[in-house]
Amino acid sequence: MIVLQTISIHVEGKVQGVNYRRYTREKALSLGLTGFVKNQRDGSVLISATGTQTNLDELINWCKEGPPAARVTGIIVKDEAFIEYTTFTIDR
C-alpha cells in the first residue's frame, strides 16, 4: 500500500526573481508530487506538496539548493493535514 502525506516547505534566502517557483514545479512534477508553490510577501517561497515520503524527501533535499541563481539560507519543513491536490501549480 502506498502512503501519501502532505508537507509544507518554507524556503528563505534569495528565492524570488530567480525562477524558483518554475523550477520547483518542474521538480515536483518529475517526482509525481501534487501541490503548489507561491511567493510570500516577506521574500520567501512557500511550498505545499503531497506524495510519498521518499519523493517528498527528494524535493526537500532539492529545495536546500534550488535553481542555479537561488541562494537558499534556510528551510522549514512541517507535516500538514493530508490534502488531495490534482496537480502541482504555481500560485500567484
Catalytic positions are: 21, 39
Distance CA 25, CA 34 (A): 9
- Cell numbers 507561491: residue: 38
Q: How far apart are CA 27 and CA 46, in angstroms?
A: 15
Q: Cell for 36?
A: 503548489
Q: What is the DSSP string of 5-33?
A: EEEEEEEEEE-SSSSHHHHHHHHHHHTT-
